[in-house]
Chains A and B, each alone.
Chain A
Amino acid sequence: MLFKKFNIWYLNSFLISAIVAIPIVTVFSSFFESTGRYSVIIKDTFLFDYIYSSALLLSGVLVFTFIIGVGCAYLVSFYKFPGSNFFKWALILSFAVPSYIYAYSLTAFFENYGTAYSILKNIFGDGEYNSKIPKFDEMMGAIIAISFSLFGYVYVLTRASFYHQSQNLIELGKNLGFSRKKSFFKIILPSARPAIVAGLSLVAMETLSDFGSVSFFGISTLTTGIYNAWISFDDLALANRLSFFLLIFILGLFILENISRRKAQYHTPVKAGFKSKSLIELNGYKALTAFLICGIVFFISFLFPVLQMLYWTIIFPKHLADLKITELFLNTILLVLLASSVLIVFAFISNFGNRVTKSKFLNFLTTFSICGYAIPGVILAVAYISFVSWFDNNFVSFLEIKSIKSIFIGSIIGLVLVYFVRFYSLASNGIKSGYLKINYSIDESSYLLGYSKLKTFLNIHVPYLKNSVLLIGILIAIEIIKELPITLILRPFNFETFATQAYIFASQDLLEAAAAPSLFLIIIASLFILTTYRYILKD
């Protein structure tokens, strides 16, 4: 049966999924490898700290992002108040601010003699303000930085779910005599549950694999543990094993949610009596409260880091003048174009292969391989370097040809390959969800009209999915612009992007120099977001 289905589409899909699955297999196989002495030290000392800090960070971020994301999505989806149309899209601009840049801003603003101090001094004159200004560092700083940077995932998905909720559902609540509050908790919130959980899952994965902000705040999480195991103790097996714990952590969350959800169905089929909602108009103090909630979230999540970076860029013009803006821009765009093209083309081929062959094995392999999204960029980069080295030592040197390390490590090719593995789930899931909207009988109709599989792909699928593809391309672009650890580890010598440039300055305690590249990064990412916000909000 397997061989009957085996064809060129099967092979393509299999190879793509297999390549993406390599790091996960590496991580799982770590359980059978022996680790160095450092593992004993870790077990006896830091392992508990890593797990405790990761759990604490995760809990804090999940609570914050849930409240902010769902709260804002509810307000803009169900009510009309001054600025509500503006906030609908403005709130997703927080995607443009990576958590590490948020962390720089937070520190810069609240640190001793920082921006807050300068503001108070300018308004009230000289005084001892440092002791009165709250300090957001370490765990609290990381929770705030990551939450305001990631709440967009919950906001966007919940808002899309609310957007697709039928008015019938709301009217049903009224019919049953529910108050607005009861309707929210009994009808609206439960029916958006899959979207909220999907958003929180993304937040969880991003939080657990965050490297930039936790390392900046000096928190020992599993991710920094992985980095230390590799950098400080050169123990790749231990780094992999810690990643395994991380994956188990995330898998546990998924299973827990699935069990609690059982077989309940949450979505109202759109065609079966869908009725679009009429917004409730708010007046007086209610309108003001809604405006203030959304306004404060928008200010803290986007304007605050932008203004902080802008402020520093203006008052330290020398750093701006020294910055090779054109070079950084071209490098960033080069990576974006290469990686997103490769990702989209291969994700398309793989998904089409799965669709044509209808193979359960391929579907499983794809689902398994996209778990790679949960693996921190650090470990992906490390796994890649060790794989290339192993291949070079065992095969290339055996054939007595020139080493391939220089081609695949510290090169654009290497960087794009690891981006491919890291962001494949984004591309693949995006195209898969587009494909789910195309009934399989559409393909069959095409075959029956004499169109081959390739012609069906080119004439039916590609035109149908072009908007989804554009959206996915831009989402990948935003991720790559912000991506830090992979770029940092695998970039060619003297090849910098806005992200790496900002990190290098920040790690040297030159936060004011990190401002300009951070600002440019935010501006470029914001432009990408603004071109697609309509699709992001609906899809």
Chain B
Amino acid sequence: MNKNFFEIDNVNFSTGGKDKVKNVSLKIENEGDVICLLGPSGIGKTTILRTIAGLEKINSGKILLKNKIISSSKIHIEPENRNISLSFQDNCLFPHYNVLENIKFGAARNQKSKKKLDVDEIINFLHLEHVKDKFPHQISAGESQRASLARSLLSKPDLLLLDEPLSNVDQSFKEEIQVKLKKILNELKITTIVVTHDSYEAFYLGSKCGIILDGHLKQYDDPYNVYHFPNSIDVVNFLNRGILIPAKVTGENSLESNDLGTIKGNFIKHYPKGSNVQLLLQPEDLEHDDKSNLKLEVVDRKFRGTNFIYTLKTLSNLLIPVFVHSHHIHQHEVDEKFGIKRPIYIDHIVCF
């Protein structure tokens, strides 16, 4: 017997008669789990949420919630009967009710719920005290988004769908709300699917992340694995942190690169000795060492607060990113030489 809390089984997600994402299968095993779907704009993430919510129909496969089919080619449970709440990305507050009244709409459905949320509590939690008596057109996009989130949380659905929930929220609130949101979802055991294009948000909120690219769910795994063990070049390119450099496998734990010399570490997949591969090099894989004799030319330097990202040019004109802690005293200007610590050791070697 299938015991997953929620399951998508081989579904093609389509809108307006066009398939957007094909052959998707994924599972949420436990009630209260939060998963995130990541992908570029227009790829079909919102279509997936709308379909799960029952706003779009499916022609193949099935979607199950609590072991009950809610969508298939033959069954379609209406959105109002699914107990699934979707918080839209754009403002969809009821324009003729004020923020408080809008939020209270969420409370109507779950009067019987054991662990109820208090309206004031949720208003405070999302910093909406000062706008609760205002109408939607009188508040900012970020406030609208938070009010919509409050309404969805208050309805305490079986499954909560959040479409870019914090995309319009000010950076100053964002991290705080992320922390509180994670806490409240955990406390209330609200199973949630978050759609976002912010990988940090996805890695923080989700116990699992799905990467949607080119009309397919490319990888569905826990955030650590998605980042460190991407299963395809597409996922590497999407997460956009590292680069792929040509290398030759020289042993059980080593490779040789024309640009960087010997690289040691643990392969996550076996490759025969002598294989030519593309090695994934993440910015944190290389360490800075002023005394090293492996020196590369600096072509760009970005200050990111906690660190610098140097872009270095190799002899064969490859551009390699390297993180350096921003407290590091010796800063390098463009055109200067930058030392890389040798021997290069990468804990988990990912090749394609």
Contacts and interface: CB of A to CB of B under 8 A. Distances in A.
Q: Do A and B come together as binding partners?
A: yes
Interface of A: 438-439, 441-442, 444-453, 460, 463-464
A448 B90 contact: no
Given A449-B151, A450-B108, A450-B109, A444 B79 contact: yes
Contacts of A444: 50, 53, 55, 79, 86, 88, 92
Contact of A450 (B50, B80, B92, B95): B80
Contacts of B155: 449-450
B96 interface: yes
A442 B94 contact: yes
Interface in B49-91: 50, 53-55, 78-80, 83-86, 88, 90
Contact of A451 (B80, B84, B96, B151): B80
Contacts of B78: 447
B170 to A, nearest CB: 19
A448 B96 contact: no
B96 A447 contact: no
B96 A464 contact: yes
5 contacts: A438-B95, A442-B94, A449-B85, A453-B80, A460-B94
Contacts of A464: 94-96
Contacts of B39: none
Contacts of B105: 446, 449
Contacts of B210: none
Q: Is the interface of B mostly helix, strand, loop or mixed?
A: loop
Nearest to A445: B92
A453 B78 CA distance: 10
A439 B144 CA distance: 15
B106 interface: yes
A306 B248 CA distance: 99
B83 A450 contact: yes
A447 B95 contact: no
Contact of B79 (A438, A439, A448, A460): A448
B95 A441 contact: no
Nearest to A455: B80
A377 to B, nearest CB: 36
The residue among B55, B80, B105 with the most chain A CB atoms within 10 A of its own CB is B80
A451 to B, nearest CB: 6
Interface of B: 50, 53-55, 78-80, 83-86, 88, 90, 92-96, 105-106, 108-109, 148, 151, 155
Contacts of A446: 94, 105
A449 B106 contact: yes
Contact of B108 (A439, A447, A449): A449
B258 to A, nearest CB: 53
B108 A448 contact: no
The residue among A438, A442, A445 with the most chain B CB atoms within 10 A of its own CB is A445
A455 B109 CA distance: 12
A81 to B, nearest CB: 32
Contacts of B50: 444
Given A445-B86, A448-B79, A450-B83, 13 more contacts: A444-B79, A445-B151, A447-B78, A448-B84, A449-B106, A449-B108, A449-B109, A449-B151, A449-B155, A451-B80, A452-B80, A463-B96, A464-B96
A58 to B, nearest CB: 41
The residue among A441, A453, A463 with the most chain B CB atoms within 10 A of its own CB is A441
A442 B55 CA distance: 12
Contacts of B53: 444, 448
Given A447-B80, A448-B79, A464-B94, A441 B109 contact: no
Contacts of B83: 450
A464 B90 CA distance: 19
B321 to A, nearest CB: 38
B45 to A, nearest CB: 16
A463 B97 CA distance: 9
Contacts of A463: 96
Q: Is the interface of A mostly helix, strand, loop or mixed?
A: helix
Nearest to B50: A444
The residue among A447, A450, A451 with the most chain B CB atoms within 10 A of its own CB is A450
A441 B80 contact: no
Nearest to A466: B96
A439 B92 contact: yes
Contacts of A439: 90, 92
Nearest to B154: A449
Contacts of B151: 445, 449
A231 B88 CA distance: 61
A447 B94 contact: no
B88 to A, nearest CB: 5
Contacts of A452: 80
The residue among A442, A444, A447, A448 with the most chain B CB atoms within 10 A of its own CB is A448
B319 to A, nearest CB: 39
Contact of B80 (A438, A448, A460): A448
Nearest to A456: B80
B108 A442 contact: no
A442 B94 CA distance: 6
Contacts of B95: 438, 442, 464
The residue among B54, B78, B79, B93 with the most chain A CB atoms within 10 A of its own CB is B79
The residue among B54, B94, B95, B151 with the most chain A CB atoms within 10 A of its own CB is B94
A323 B74 CA distance: 69
Contacts of B93: 445
B131 to A, nearest CB: 18
Contacts of A449: 85, 105-106, 108-109, 151, 155
A441 B88 contact: yes
4 closest residue pairs by CB, A with B = A450-B109, A447-B79, A441-B92, A447-B80
B94 A448 contact: no
A460 B108 CA distance: 14
Nearest to A441: B92
A368 B90 CA distance: 34
Nearest to A442: B92
Contacts of B85: 448-449
A141 to B, nearest CB: 48
A463 B78 CA distance: 24
The residue among A441, A442, A449, A451 with the most chain B CB atoms within 10 A of its own CB is A449
A419 to B, nearest CB: 30
Contacts of B109: 449-450
A446 B106 CA distance: 9
A438 B148 CA distance: 16
Contacts of B94: 442, 445-446, 460, 464
Nearest to B155: A449
A450 B79 CA distance: 7
A450 B81 CA distance: 6
Contacts of B90: 439, 441
A444 to B, nearest CB: 5
B16 to A, nearest CB: 11
A439 B96 CA distance: 13
B156 to A, nearest CB: 11
B217 to A, nearest CB: 23
Contacts of B80: 447-448, 450-453
